[in-house]
Amino acid sequence: MTARAIIIGAPRSGSGKTSVTIGLLRALARRGVKVRGAKSGPDYIDPGFHAAATGLSGVNLDSWAMPPSLLNALADQAADDAEYVILESAMGLFDGIPAPEGRSGSAADLARLYHLPVLLVLDVSGQSTTAAAVAKGFATYNPDVRMAGVVLNRLGSERHRRLSADAIEAIGLPVVGAIMRDPTLNLPERHLGLVQAGEYENLMAHLDRLADVVEKSLDIDAILALASPLEPAAGDFGEALQPPGQRIALAEDAAFTFLYPHVARHWRDAGAEIVPFSPLADEAPAEDCDVCWLPGGYPELHAGKLAAAGNFRAGTARFAATKPVHGECGGFMVLGEALEDADGESHKMLGLLGHSTSFTRRKMNLGYREARLRAGCPLGCEGTLIRGHEFHYAQMTATGNDEPLADLADGQGNPLGASGYRRGHVSGTFFHAIARGA
């Protein structure tokens, strides 16, 4: 039997849907339910919490970046070995970009495509019966997106709960949970989102605390009864990012963490072996690997340590002399000549590409990206169209003299010019690849 699924949505970021999702996942896992977390859109961090809470790897489902066939294949894979899938919306439920129908990147696309009900998380701080107007707006905004129930979050009192819940239930929506205001439930954040799951010393204690609150505050059985079967149409992995080699040396530590779960899983399922190494521990890519991949992460927080990692620097240079090395976002920054940290101190990086970057002069760069490769690299052959996402605060302070890697456009196809660099076997971009375009 395929898994049943429900979407956790909200009017905006910061409503508490991540805490509700993680707490629900952990509560179900503690009951012995085989449950998987999923995330709409391009998010690295939440799937890590989902995996920690459930013991099953998380997955991103992105209606803009993933061709329909790949989206269906990933949804089917997520449902195949689980009893329930809890799908967390990014930002607000209907938030995406202008695009052909069903390709906006919003969680609402997934609700329509897979006929999944939505559990609406409402932060009702500063309001009471007005929450019913918000809920009614969600219930009527798009008849193909069904609100199945409401969770009230950040309540101040029992009277507050009663006023809000009675008004919402009067319009025909069941209230299946009510969580009191408690700032200690909030997950700590930094400039690219939540502090990552792997950085907590007491992660499971915090997850269990969220689960305790969910057990006490939500009607879990009622929520499970709202879920619907997740039965996607037939799909395939033809447009997935193919393994860039048979043995892939993958940088993996606190400075290099951002590799989409579906990318790593497909590489393994396609027969590739991922060989992790830690630049922060002064490790170099294994010489018997075919390719080295430096993912995004937080090199700006560890720039001094990376600069002092002599074995990593020398070993990666030796590797790059004969084999491909590719960096994304943070990895791209490390491939350059220098990285200026938040304190304005400049640190020498690998120097395998000629650019330099700064975290001192910060400006947010955010959005979907479509790239046409000018030359072959670990992302694909010349002419390949790649869809992905860019999210960083670092700025380029020197461009160097390397050849551009790709011609870039935003999510609506507006040209953004040349992007990334390549030199010899080395390539890198600020954008993170999600899938091949279609």
What is the average pLDDT across 347-358? 96
Flag the least confident range among 41-45, 207-211, 264-268.
41-45
Mean pLDDT of the chain: 94
Backbone angles phi, psi at 20, to 5 degrees: -65, -45
- Helices 203-217, 17-30: crossing angle, 10 deg rounding: 90
Flag the least confident range among 36-45, 84-93, 148-157, 422-431.
36-45
Which tokens hold the place of 292? 């080295």
Q: Is 199 exposed, middle or buried (0-12, 13-18, 19+ CB in 10 A)?
A: middle
What is the average pLDDT across 290-296? 97
Tens digits of residue pLDDT in 90-124: 999 999 999 999 999 999 999 999 999 999 999 99
Which tokens hold the place of 245? 């080699």
Number of other CB atoms surrounding residue 184 within 10 Å: 6
pLDDT for 45 beyond 90:
no
Tell me how many degrees the CA angle 242-247-252 measures, rounded to the nearest 5: 90
Residue 182: predicted pLDDT: 84
Q: In a 3-state reduction of DSSP, which class is residue 37?
A: strand
Nearest to 373 by CA among 406, 422, 327: 406
Q: Are 402 and 300 in contact (CB under 8 A)?
A: no
Nearest to 335 by CA among 294, 376, 301, 364: 294
Strand partners, 348: 338
Which tokens hold the place of 413? 């196809």
pLDDT for 195 beyond 60:
no
Flag the least confident range among 182-186, 201-205, 295-299.
182-186
Instruction: Give the whole-number percent of the chain exceeding pLDDT 70.
Output: 95
Residue 202: predicted pLDDT: 80
H helix runs in 81-202, sequence order = 107-114, 130-141, 158-170
Tens digits of residue pLDDT in 220-270: 999 999 999 999 999 999 999 999 999 999 999 999 998 999 999 999 999
The amino acid that residue 211 corresponds to is A
Flag the least confident range among 28-42, 196-210, 349-363.
196-210
What is the average pLDDT across 268-284? 98
pLDDT interval class at 44 (50, 70, 90): confident
Residue 191: predicted pLDDT: 46
Active-site choice (289, 292, 329, 377): 329
The amino acid that residue 289 corresponds to is C
Cα-Cα-Cα-Cα dihedral of 344, 349, 351, 355, to 10°? -40
Handedness of CA 387, 424, 257, 380 (dihedral sign): positive
Instruction: Give the whole-number percent of the chain exceeding pLDDT 90.
Output: 86
Residue 115: predicted pLDDT: 98
Which tokens hold the place of 85? 């899938």
Q: Are 120 and 150 in contact (CB under 8 A)?
A: yes
What is the average pLDDT across 119-137? 97
In DSSP notation, 298-317 reads -GGGSHHHHHT-HHHHHHHH
CA dist 335 and 351 (Å) reads 6
pLDDT for 177 beyond 50:
yes
Q: In a 3-state reduction of DSSP, which class is residue 213?
A: helix
Flag the least confident range among 148-162, 191-205, 359-373.
191-205
pTM > 0.85: yes or no: yes
Q: Are 323 and 329 in contact (CB under 8 A)?
A: no
Give the CA distances from residue 257 to residues 209, 233, 290, 373, 379, in Å, rounded to whole numbers and listed in that order: 25, 32, 20, 24, 18
CA dist 112 and 94 (Å) reads 11
377 is catalytic: no
Residue 190: predicted pLDDT: 41
